[in-house]
Each structure stands twice: as C-alpha cells, then as structure tokens.
Chain A
Amino acid sequence: MSVDLPALPTLQSKDFASDQEVRWCPRCGDYSILAQMKKVLPTLGIPKEKFCFVSGIGCSSRFPYYVNTYGLHSIHGRAPAVATGVKLANPELQVWVITGDGDALSIGGNHFLHAIRRNIDMKIILFNNQIYGLTKGQYSPTSPVGKKSKSTPYGSIDHPLTPLSVAIGAEATFVARSVDVDIKHLTMVLERAAHHKGTAFVEVYQDCNVFNPGAFSYATDKETRSDSIVYLEHGKPLIFGKNREKGIRVAEGNRVESVQLGGDIKEDDLLFHDEKTPEPSLAFLLSRMRHPEFPEPMGIFRAVERSTYDESVTKQVEAARSKLGEGDVEKLLNSGDTWFVN
C-alpha cells in the first residue's frame, strides 16, 4: 500500500525575494551579495519566518527590504545593538546584521566591538567599499591614506582601520573575508557564517562603482587576482600565484613573508592555516597582510567556539528559576519588612 505524502516544502532562492524593487545603482556590488545570500538562506533548513535581518544606515543597509523575511532598517551605526535586542527577546530567530564600513566602524564602532566580544549569536556582514556612498562620496574609516574624496580634496590624512583586525581584537570567534564578485567563495563564506554559533563577522570587499570604482580591482581582475589574494583553507598551506608558485611562510620576528616555491622551499615549509586555534595571533597576523606588500587572505580566518551571550542569558534565567522557583508575585510584594495597620 502506498501513501501519498505531501511534498516537504523546500525553500528556493525566489522565496526570499521581497516585492520591493531593488534600488541600488546599476552594477553595484551589493547585487551580488544579495543574490548569494538568497542562494544560501534556503539551504539552511530554517523556515523563512525565523530569519531577521537588521541594518543601520547606508547603501548596504537597504538590504533587509529586499529579503522576504522579518527585517528592521534601523538607524546609523546601531544595527548590532538593535539586533542584540532582537536576539535577546526572541532567541529562536537567526539574526543577520547588514552594515557598511562607515556604519560599523565609524558611527557604530562601539556597538560593533561589544556585540563581537559578547559573542551574541548573530551574523554581521560588513560591505566594505572604502567610501561613504549614500552621502555621495566622502572618505570612510577604511579609505587609504591619500584618498581623494569630496571631503578630502587634498587626500585623506586619516590612517584607516582594518576591519578584521578590529574584530579579532574585539575577541571575535568567527572572522572571514570574501569579495562581491567571487560568487562561489562568497556563497561558501556566507554558509560558514550562517552555521557558526556566536557572532560571525564577514567582511565583503564590495565595489562602489559610482564613488569608488575599482577600489578592489587588484583582488578581482583576472590579471592581478591570483597574485593579489591567497585563499585560506583549514589545514592547508597558503599558496597563491597564477601557477600556485608562491607561498606564505612564517619568518623570524613574528611576521610572515612571501616566498617563491621550488628550490629549497617546499610546501611543507609554508604556513599551514589553522582557523580553529584558540590563540588569535595567527588570525591577526593574517589580517595584517595588505596589498600590495602581500596577497590579501580570503576565507575563514578564525572559527572557534565560545558560549554565546544569548545562550548564557537564557541559562541564567533557567538557573534562577530552578534555584528560586517560578517568580511568586505574592511573595515578591510581601518581601522585606512588613507590618499591619488595623
């Protein structure tokens, strides 16, 4: 005897498309990130009503409007704090924060740090385009020194932040980097972030083709890409170059160096990536590798386990309940010294 079982609902990318017209500039890097996100979400085995996207202010922060889940487009820089409230109040939600370099690192620097150190179970995706796009082209906290922008006609004199270094310094448990146009890699990184328990921080190099076009062309152009980036793979050596002829080796003095493979230098002499090492020094060292001196690492820098803030909050509530019993209103009101008036 056969029974007709209703087909299990399988979510697809299009289920996550909202009815809103996407209003980013043509060829903005955000489109690709949105597309990869919509690819990843249906694969996670989570019903779409259990997702919540929170953003701040900036071009990237329009993201929640374009994803058909719960979404909150909040105020400039505060998305991690808003998302903390969401997760505390409703721990069953998977919470994503979408932010930019100005939003997360300038006006919202404080919330960014504290969300990460608490290890609240949320994914923070930082679209780094090294420019203020929505306000039409001022330099940002990740713009390089010398950057000419509307507010720096003579070139920026601000030393930039490295988002990954900041995150690692803030005790991050998951740190990764990808590029908007590297579709497969970006999908993989977003998937890994989604599966991480705790704050997962992902920096995505994103091209603002209006106000800062080509800022990351070294990492995206066919000719330069293989020499300018190195893919991180857990347990594998850091090899790059068009013919995989170059590698990264640990040198004396707590630093790394770029070396040519062949001759005396074998793959075994290279730095082997370990994303799980509890000590954050390696991840930090990797985060300091900047173009053009070094190829910039792409992938998972760090993925370690630590109890999450939201879980600990729930545990404390449970512990209080098992120790003190369910809160008793009568008892509470009558606590302390009481007396009768007849």
Chain B
Amino acid sequence: MSTATLDAPASTNGKKLENLETVVIRFCGDSGDGMQQAGGQMTNASAMFGNDVRTFPDFPAEIRAPAGSLFGVSGYQLCFSNHDIFTPGDAVDTLVAMNPAALKTNIEDLKRGGTLIVNEEEFNKSGLQKALYEANPLDNETLMAKFRVHKVPMTRLNRDAVDGLGLSQKNADLCRNFFALGLVYWLYDRDPKPTEDNIRTKFAKRPEVVEANLRSLRAGMNYGFSTESFTVHYHVPPARLPAGKYRKITGNEAVAMGLAVMAKLSGKTVVFSGYPITPASDILHDLSAFKHFGVKTFQAEDEIAAMSSCVGAAFAGQLAVTASSGPGICLKGEAMGLGMMTELPMVIIDVQRGGPSTGLPTKTEQSDLLLAMYGRNGESPLPIIAASGPGDCFSMIQEAFRIATEFMCPVIFLSDGYIANGAEPWKIPNVADLPRLKIEHITAPNGENGEYLPYKRNEKLARPWAKPGTKGLEHRIGGLEKKDVTGNIDYSPKNHQHMTNTRAQKVANIANFIPEQTVDGPASGKLLVISWGGTYGAVRTAVQQAQAAGKSVAHTHLKYMNPLPRNLGTILKSYEKVLVPELNCGQLRLLLRNQYLVDAQGYNKIEGKPFLVNELVNVINEFHG
C-alpha cells in the first residue's frame, strides 16, 4: 500500500517528510510488553487526527506465557489511511518487534522494503534461545537486506529516560512500549497529545507512572528526531470521511452500548446474564458499568445458568440477553430450546472463536453458523443476525431485539473475535434518530370467556407477552409441546405437526420484515461473491479491486442469516458463478446450496486469522477466469 504522493510537507531537522496514503503498522512483543496498549494508543491518535483506521489485535490465550517464548507473542496491527478502508491491511509497512520471538513469528508479514524496528538488546543469547534461533537474525544479511532495519537499544535508552523517578528496573522496563510508540509517532508524524492526555487520566493516582510514561514517549520521539538512523518520516493526511462527530469503537463495546441505549430509550430493564468466556467477556464488563441505564447484569455460575436465567427474565417481562462463544453456546443449547418452545423474546450473542472444543480462544472464525442454525434438539429454527463490523454491532443488536420482541422468539446474534476486539472510527449517531423498541405487554384476558390464551397468535404468528404480576393473566408454560391458543400440554399427533409448522413459519415470515438484499456492482454478470459477518471489509475491498481491474464481479454481504432475505434467490440466479469466501469449511455455502440449489463454490480458510485482501483478489481472479 504505502504509496508516496507528491506535495510533501516541509521537512524537519533536515529530515524528509513524505506523504503516504495508507500505512500498516504492527507492534509485537511479549504478552506482558504492552503491545495492545501501544497499538490502541496509536489507533486513537490516528483516528483523532482524522485518518480512517482499522485494527487487528492478535494475542495468545496464555495471559503471561513464559517471557520471550514463541507462543507468548502478542501483536496489534493497525491500518490508517487518507481514504476509507475496510480492513487492517495485508502486508505490514512497519514492524516493531520487541524481542526475537516477536521477530520470528511476524517477520514473514513485513513487506519487502518495509521498516523493521527492533529492541536489539533483547537479541541476546537467552532471548535468541527462547525464540529457538540458532544465530542472531539481525546478523543475517540476506534477511536484513530485504528491510530498512533500525536496531534500537530500547531497554537502555528507556531506563535512562526514566532515571531519577525512583522506579524499579522492572517498572522502568514496563514503559518500553511507550518508547517504541514514541519512535513510531515520530516516524508517522503523529500528535502525541491524545496519548499524553490518556496517560495523565489513566494513571492520575500514580504521578510517577504518569511522568515515566510521558518521558518514555518523548524519548522515543526524540530518538527518531535526532539519530541518523532515521532519515525520512511520513505523513498520512486525514481521510475524507462523511462529516460528523466520531469516536473509536470495538464490536464488544458497540454491543454493550447498544444494549444500554436500548434499555434507556425503551424504558425497559435489560437483564444480561453471562459467564466469563473469551472473546465475549468484555460485553459483561462494559454492561456491568451501565447500571444507571436500567441494566442488570448477572454473572451466572455457568453457561447453562446464564441461558436459563435469560429464559426466566424473559418470562418475567424484561429484555433478556446473554453472550458467549462457541463452547458456551453448546452448553446453552437446551435452554435456548426452552426459549424457542415457550416463544419468549431474548437475544443470544455468540462471539465466535476458533473451534472445535476449546479450540483457539483468542482467534477468530466463522464456524458457528450451523451451530446457530441447527444446534438444538428437535425442529427448532431461530432467527439469526450477523454483524458486519464493530460499529454495525450497535444497531444490529437492537435489530435483534426488534425481531425478538415483534415475533416473540429468541434471536441469535453472531459476532466474532475479529469484530469483537477490532476497532474502527464510528460516526456517533443522533439520539433522535435511534430506533425506539416498541413493547406491548398484554394487559387483559384475550379469550372470549374472559380467559387468557397465551398461544393465541397475531398476524405475525407471534403470541402475546404477559408480564407476571398482571391480574387475570396467570398462566403456565413450559418445554412440553403445547396446544396452540390455550398453551395447555398436548401431545396429539396433529397438534405437534401444526405447532412445529407454525413455529417454523413464524421464523420464515420474518423475511417479510427485513430489508431486501442489495448488491455492490453489476446486477448480473459473471461472478457474485457472497460474504457474511466479519469478513465484510476484506471481501468488499477485494471485489472493489477486481471491479477496478475490469472484472465482471459483484458483491453482496449478508447480515440476516435466518431467514435469508427474500430476494436472495433471484440475485443468486443472476450470475454465472457464485463464490462464498468464509472462515470455516463452507457453512453458508451449504445453506445456500440447500435452499437455492445453486452451485456455489467456496474459498475457505481456517487459520484463526481474517482474510487478506490480496488472497481474495487472487481467488476472485481465479474464479472469474
């Protein structure tokens, strides 16, 4: 990417300042090295400057893996640009590696001619051994010749910078991430002020830590400014994003915020039940601080209890929601079935991660689509929604509740590790424009003889929602098959057939109450690429590049997974070929082939990593021919 453009601003300290359009940076080091912190700060600084930004935090499941080990490497990649972007970038322009293990596990992603910044002091005998290097890679001339290498004695320089503050050596070394960050700030002409403000707020109670981090940041910037190692630095002008006020948001933050806002605007209580699980726990953390919006959070004893209490809260008449990841969703299955059978509104959030079993807890995957579709006993279809990116979670979680309460059924909301932890600039919506959830609890008996009929349905086949405590509506429901209209237990053959059909029809009907599917690109042609969930950005960018290269290719991105949009069949038949790239073994493809008898082909990747734009462009070209 990093294409140099003309009209570069004036240089400083005799060093050239070149303009770039797009830059990809990756910070990597030990999981205790503060790389997520450095990346997050750089993201803020870039977003506040006005660049479009996308991030990809990638960390190990081990909280503090042995220092210097290969499996303990934590990375944070961010891409910032002067135009709108949809992915955190493919190849890395600048790689910051805090130790040999970080270098070894990341160097392959650094582009030829890219900038490599290493803390050379960590490339000692012990560090090299832990990274299983037989020789110091920094001495490998063939390797190093591919990059612009800056060997920086970060540990020593940083210790000097914080000298006199009375910090222990260990605490002094904890500031090295800010030294590295300062150096990158100089290299990419970033204003340090947002970061300095953040340091002052975050460590307000520990002035010596504030001072140390500020000094480290400055020392890093000054190092770039002063030393001869760096002869040029870069500027990425602001992007031309739609006008408005922006903030940075991750998928998990957007879900929590969406729920809190919904509670407040609907005047209902949101009851969130959860059990800690990566990568969904942040939703519980964020929501537990939003009590004053009318949110009650319940950390249950297990996933089953979290789901069961959701059913209880929904029966009791409030907005019930739970969040988990694949292993937890498996445990919730039976209670989700109860929610389905009792036809109560609730939302189940699945922040997908690499599976099966414990799998890859901190890595992303899209492999729970079929679990969401079919992962319960009996015939138990549920509506499924999938967010396309971090900001999209804010509105889609509210959309999930609209469907749940309008149709009286549990709704599954699919996110993934990439969306959950990835950040993007988000245009703050106007409060007046936000949707208001309309909830109508039945208040009086609906039967001809003054009795309450809990399964008497409306035109959408939804049953009424009676709030316990309401006089005259006392009723009993449960997981046993029930007679339509009265809700009494009924095992008779015809009734079971009728109820099974009705529950399925109710979900199928939702297709009439969701937007029609749209297509980016020609309405018919050679190739249609279909994506869903968190791969939106990569697929969209790849298709746009292929279109720019003159290919007859269109893109459509699904957010409603069940039921699928009513015009999707027509769209599929308008192209000669259909390509479904997924981070699984072809789950959406299976559904499309099943439902539309279309010869959809897949491009499937199960590496725990998101798609690169480049690989998709190649696949598109191959399919297009």
**How far is it, in angstroms, between the C-alpha of A339 and the C-alpha of B238 when the chains are bound?**
12
Q: A324 near B316 (CB under 8 angstroms)?
A: no
Is the pair A92, B247 in contact by a Cβ cutoff of 8 Å?
no
**Would A329 and B271 count as touching, CB distance under 8 A?**
no
Which of B285-293, B409-417, B587-595 touches A?
B285-293
Interface residues of A in 60-74 (CB under 8 A from B): 64-65, 67-74
A49-B473, A81-B308 known; A89+B269 contact, CB < 8 A: yes
**CA separation between A75 and B332, bound complex, in Å?**
12
B305 on the A face (CB < 8 A): yes
Whether the pair A341, B305 counts as a contact (CB closer than 8 A) is no
Complex Cα distance A68/B261, Å? 37
When each residue 282-326 of chain A gets 1 if its CB lies under 8 Å from chain B and 0 otherwise, what string results?
A: 000000000000000000000000000000010011001101111
Contact call A90/B468, Cβ cutoff below 8 A: yes
Check A337 against B320 for contact (C-beta < 8 Å).
no
Could you tell me how many residues of chain A have their Cβ less than 8 Å away from some Cβ of chain B?
A: 61
Task: Flag if A52 contacts B468 (CB, 8 Å).
Answer: yes
Using CB atoms, name the residue of chain B closest to A57: B479
A78 touches B428 (CB 8 A): no
**Complex partner residue of B312 from A85, A329, A335, CB under 8 angstroms:** A85
Q: Is there an interface contact between A81 and B312, defined as CB atoms closer than 8 Å?
A: yes
B246–A341 CB distance below 8 A: yes
Interface string of A18-48 (1 = CB under 8 A from B): 1010000000000000000000000000011
Q: Give, as a whole number of angstroms, the nearest-CB distance from A110 to chain B.
A: 6
For A50, what are the chain B residues with a Cβ–Cβ distance below 8 Å? Answer: 468-469
Of B10-18, B334-342, B525-533, B598-606, the one touching chain A = B334-342
User: In the assembled complex, which residues on chain A have CB atoms less than 8 Å from the CB atom of B49?
Assistant: 339
Q: Is the CB of A337 within 8 A of B313?
A: no
Chain B min CB distance to A14 (Å): 14
Cross-interface CB contact of A74 among B239, B302, B308, cutoff 8 Å: B308
Whether, in the assembled complex, A86 has its beta carbon less than 8 Å from a beta carbon of chain B, the answer is yes
Is A332 engaged at the interface, CB distance under 8 Å to the other chain? yes
| A270 within 8 Å of B (CB atoms) | no
Evaluate contact between A68 and B318: CB separation under 8 angstroms: no
Chain B residues whose CB sits within 8 angstroms of the CB of A47 once the complex forms:
471
Rounded to whole Å, the gap between the CB of A264 and the closest CB of chain B is 51
Interchain CB contact under 8 A, B264 and A329:
yes
> CB distance A74 to B478 under 8 Å?
yes
Interface flag for A330 (CB, 8 Å) = yes
Shortest CB-to-CB span from A115 to chain B, Å, is: 9
Asked if B206 is at the interface (CB within 8 A of a chain A CB), the reply is no
Q: Is the CB of A317 within 8 A of B292?
A: yes
Query: What is the distance, in angstroms, from B79's C-beta to the closest C-beta of chain A?
Result: 18
Q: What would be 26 A-B contacts, judged by CB atoms less than 8 Å apart?
A: A20-B488, A73-B477, A74-B312, A78-B335, A82-B315, A83-B312, A84-B298, A84-B309, A85-B310, A86-B312, A88-B296, A88-B309, A89-B320, A90-B317, A110-B304, A111-B304, A111-B305, A111-B308, A320-B291, A325-B292, A326-B292, A329-B431, A333-B261, A336-B247, A337-B47, A338-B246
Q: What is the interface of chain A, defined by CB distance below 8 A to chain B?
A: 18, 20, 47-50, 52-55, 64-65, 67-75, 78, 81-90, 92-93, 110-111, 113-114, 313, 316-317, 320-321, 323-327, 329-330, 332-342
A-B pairs, top 5 by smallest CB distance, nearest first, are: A85-B312, A73-B478, A327-B293, A85-B309, A71-B476
